Every structure is written in C-alpha cells, then in structure tokens.
Structure 1
Amino acid sequence: MESMLFESRDLARTEEFLNRAYTKMQIGGRATDVRTRISRAAADSISIDRIEIGFEMSYDADPLGKICLCEVTSGSITDHATDGWEDEFRPGDLVSFAPADRPFAGTIRRSTYTITMFDPVLLAQVTGAGRKDDATVRLLSHRPHSRAAAYQLSKTIAYVDHVLPNPAVRTSPLVLASLSQLLASSVLAAFPNSATTDGDGPDARPPTVRRAMAFMESNLDQPITIADIATAAGVTVRAVQTAFQRHLGTTPLAQLRLLRLAEVHSELQAADPTRHTVAEIAARWGFHHHGRMAAAYLELYGELPSTTLAR
C-alpha cells in the first residue's frame, strides 16, 4: 500500500514531484502564483490521486505507461492534445487522459480533479485476452459511451478510492485482485474498446439500448414514460427493460434518474448560491421530493447537494 501527500507553492519543486510521481514532463506557470496539492491512495497496480492545481499550469509530458482516467471536479483542462486529437475537459467530465504509450500536452486552469491509473494489462486479463502473450486491449475513444456510462464508472472509482486506504486491503491479495478486476471491467463497460466492439460500430451496446439512451439523453427535460422509451427504441416495454437489465444491470427509468441527477450535479457546481437553491435546480430536472433526491445524490457524489452548491 502506498499513500502520499504533496503540497507546494514552488514551481520547480512541483515539476520535480510530478516527474517522480507520473512521468517525465515539463510544466509552466507563474512562479508567484503556484499552489499544488496532491494526495494519493494506492495498492498493487492501482493509484487514485486527488489533485488541486491552484494556478494556470501548462504541461508537456512523456507517455505514462498506464491507463489514466481523469475526472474533473472544478476548473478546466484545455488544449489537451494526444494521439491525434485535442479536447477540453470541464466539471463532470470523466475521460481517458491519454493512451498508455502516447505523450500528451495541455493546460490546467485552476482545477481540481481525480487521476486514476492502473496497468493496461488488467484490461486484457479481465477479457481473457491476457492469455496471449501479444494481446492488448485498447480504448477506442477518450470519452465514454455516454454520460450514464461515465457516472457508473465514477461510482466504481469512488468505491475503490474508499476501500484502498483500508489496512485489510493491504494484506489481502484476493481483495486487491478483485478490486483490480472491478475497475478494469468498469472501464471496459464505459469506453468503446477493441475487446468488445462488434460490427455495430464503436458502441458495443445493443441497438435497443443505444436507441433508448439516445432518446433519454435528448429529452431529459421532458416528461418521459417507460412506454415512450420503448417506442423510441422500437421494441416493447418488456424488451427494453430486459435489454437494460442484461447489458447495464439497471432499469430504463433508473438510468433516466441517474442522467437527470447528473444534470442537477452540473448545475449545482456552476450555480451562484446567492441566486439559486437546490430545490429550484432539482425541480427543473423533475425531482420534487427533496429527501429522496438528496439521499440519491449523496450516494452518487459523496456529499449533499447543498454542499456542492455552497462550494
């Protein structure tokens, strides 16, 4: 088990630490405005870092050699470029930061975010491809299938982060192996990848689920029934329920609530607490029972909606 805490207001010291903790990189920023805080929980090949960069920091980094997931909590990461694509990440985004064998560069703009890293071989192991010496499993997109897929992965990362500091984990290879498999399987379920992609395209979910998800994501602010979802998917109510249970382990309406809860989360993060209330924002997304909404929000995001709004 490895844990660490790094805090600094010195640019050179921050660059030195990032080189040791991640990979060789060059960073830039105003030396008079530096504020960095990084805490890590790690075990075996998994590490989860909570990072606060309190200044505008550019970076130009060598390959990490690991799968690297980034979930932004506040601020933004802009001009991020790697492997022929460029994107920017904002609060609520959970992305694959860069392929394990590719360099990357960009700018962090006063951001807090979580970095989750693990050995790429875990992806091959959970698919069975690891039995072949030359087998590799690649993520085919840096963004998950959908917001719902990202939120499910976020919940898994939060669970792993909660468990890693437990001393019992440190002494149990079986628990560590189970956590590794859970994380790798969740990543494969969230991202298009070379192990599960079929002839239907980069999204390996069946057409019924894809059509239903597309309809829900396009109509989150509208009253939607299970019959509406089934009609949009072109199947019966029972068929769409069966497809969601089999491929996502949930129901269409539960997935719809998760999507709407994510919209509440995004609005609370951006809202001015002197001008907006939790009840107002929740009602806009169809949540009229504050207690039930708050309980679901707490389970998903680890804090009460009022805390998110105040922060």
Structure 2
Amino acid sequence: MTTTDQAALQTSTHMLTGADAIEQFLSNAYTSMRLRSDTDRPRLRYDRTDAGAFTLDTLEQTAAILDIRAAPLHTVAINRMATGRMQRTCGGVEQRYGPGDLYIATDPDQPYTVRWLPSELHSAALDPGLLARVAATAPGRRPAPLRFTSLDPTTPAAAAHWWDTYCYIAHTVHNPEAATPLVLGAAARLLAAVTLTTFANTALTDPTIEDRHDAHPDCLRRAIAFIDDNAHRDISAADIAAAAHVTIRTIQVAFRRHLDTTPTAHLRRVRLHHAHRDLQAADPTTTTVFAVASRWGFPNHSRFTASYHQTYGTTPSQTLRD
C-alpha cells in the first residue's frame, strides 16, 4: 500500500489477493459484508482519493466471480462500469450493469447483494449530509430526509454529464498544486449538485412563497457582508444563506432579483478581486499565477485567465510581471 497526503486530501493504493483479504478490506472501506469467490485467489486493485466530504475510488478485480452480501451502506455511492459486468439486487429489485453504465450502488439504508464479474469500475461516495446541504431549501419545511427515488440516471445525457464532471474533479484533485481547501470544497459541492440533477430524488428545488417574500435588500446586504469577510474560507451557498438568516432559495432569489447574479457567482467575483490584488503584490520570481489562482479556488488555468481578462482587460501573467 502507498499513501500520500496533500492538505485534506489522502490517496492510497492497495493490492489484495484472496477472498478473505478482499472481504476484510471492503468491509473496512465500505460496510460489513460477506464474500464468496469461484476461485482460490481472486485479486483486487483498489485506488482511493479521500477528500473528506467525498471519495473517488477505482476498483479492478480479476480472475474471479465474487458474490457479495452487504449490510446497508449508509452513504451515497455512484458507480460507473469501465469494463466487465455487475449484477446488483436491492429491495427485491435485480439490475445488471455493463461497460459505460452509471448507477447508484444501492439504497443507502437497505442491505444488498452483488455478483461482480472481472471488471473495472469507478466510484464516487458522498456524505449524505453534503447532499442534504446542497439540496436544502428551508430547515423544517421538508418533513422527510433527502431520498433518491431511482438508482439509475434520469437520461443518458444526464449520465454523460455526471461522468464528465467526475473526470474533471478527478483531474483537479489529483493535481497537488490545485487541491487547495477552496478547490476541494467547491469540488465536493459540484459533485453533490450533479448527482442531484442526474438521479431522481425528493429534494425541493423551486422557491416557495416565503422564499420570495424574504428575498429583500436587507438579507442581500447581510449575505454580501458575509462573503466579503469570508471569501478566503471554504463557504457554500448554505453558509451564505445561514449568515443572512434565510433559506438557500431565498438568497438565490435575492441575488437574482437585485443583482442579476447568483451567490456563488458573486463569491467568485470577490475571490477574483483578491487574486488580482495578490498578483499585483506578488514577486514573480517566487510566485506563479497558478498558485495564486488555486489559492482563491480557481483550479482551471484557462477559465481563470479568461475571467481575469474579461474583468481587468489584461492577463494574470501580465499583472504578475508588472
């Protein structure tokens, strides 16, 4: 096994041989399970990137058919088959998946069984609390917790968009320079948001009458003051709404109504301003544009440069040189 730490990020690789070793390892990594193999020495390669609120895993098992009986997972894991086949039974419903298929691994609160043929799959596991915060409308207005009503994507296009987002996040977090706390926090919320739009669920998304009524200038001023004071921290739309003493939908309506923007877009503009100031003050012999951009939550160099040029009429590299 190898392990690397980068800020809150941890990466690890494991090579396992034998049904008992694989069973014990997967039980520790996910949930209690029993495993049977049709060969004496099944093999598993397991790569994990742990970012705290989410994990990205790649699992490749060879030379065996594994039959697994597992306890409830109590987390939301989304799998995409790269090769091979998987058969999953949950809640009395059996489903089969092959190369390119995307699906939620199981209902988080139900036991499940899996027949896993030799294959490779990619998986993202999300803290249910993160999904609830991203989906939240108003505390107390929803009587039931967030629940996914289907384990399969709503459309092939939605599945393709989820996979594109996964690849973008994986590329970002595997870059040590880019994996700053602000970038990791934004990546977690992006992954949660795309999961909520890909799989049908019980989250409420439209503003209520109360949300629209509360979206007045006072709550907007409180939100802007909070953003100005905390742009250097990993804050979310939920944090901004809480600081303004309103719901997420209310603060979204307020920003759209009064500023024709969103809370997260305004936060990006404030962070862009801080990056601009840092570049003006930095020593070009010891600082790079990428380091400044990543510090302020901009891991994509081309997008940062385009936004910077549109706002300031020059490139960040020119600002740093000047």
Query: 1:44 is matched with which residue?
Result: 52
Residue 9 of structure 1: how far off its partner (Å): 2.0
How far is the alpha carbon of 1:130 from its aligned partner? Answer: 7.1
1:35 correspondence with 2:72: no
1:77 and 2:86 equivalent? yes
Larger Rg: 2
Q: Which residue of the partner structure matches residue 181 of structure 1?
A: 189
Is residue 95 of structure 2 the alignment partner of residue 95 of structure 1? no
- Is residue 124–residue 130 contact of structure 1 (8 Å, CA) maintained in 2? no
- Among 163, 173, 196, which residue is 2:172 paired with? 163
Matching residue within 115, 119, 136 for 2:127: 119
State the TM-score, normalized to the length of structure 2: 0.57
Work out the percentage of aligned pairs sharing the same amino acid. Answer: 29
Q: Give 1:309's aligned residue.
A: none
Q: CA 1:49/1:130 → structure 2, altered by over 3 Å: closer, same or farther? A: farther
Q: Pick from 19, 25, 29 the counterpart of residue 17 of structure 1.
A: 25
Count residues in correspondence: 196
The residue type equivalent to 2:26 in the other structure is L
Tell me by how many angstroms 1:30 deviates: 3.1
Structure 1: 5+ residue stretches without partners = 199-311
The alignment status of 1:195 with 2:203, answered yes or no, reads yes
Q: Describe the superposition over 1:245-303 as per-residue Cα deviations: whole angstroms up to 9, x where unpaired.
A: xxxxxxxxxxxxxxxxxxxxxxxxxxxxxxxxxxxxxxxxxxxxxxxxxxxxxxxxxxx
In 2, are the aligned partners of 1:5 and 1:38 still within 8 Å (CA)?
Answer: yes
- The alignment's C-alpha RMSD in Å is 2.0
Runs of 4+ in 1 over 6 A off after TM superposition: none
1:67 aligns with 2:76: yes
Q: Does 1:53 pair with 2:61? A: yes
Counterpart in the other structure of 1:146: 155
Give CA-to-partner distance per residue, 1:181-233, whole Å, 9 cap, x none.
101110111111111589xxxxxxxxxxxxxxxxxxxxxxxxxxxxxxxxxxx
Aligned counterparts of 2:54 and 2:21: Cα–Cα separation in 1: 25
Secondary structure of residue in 1 paired with 2:105: strand
Amino acid at match of 1:60: R
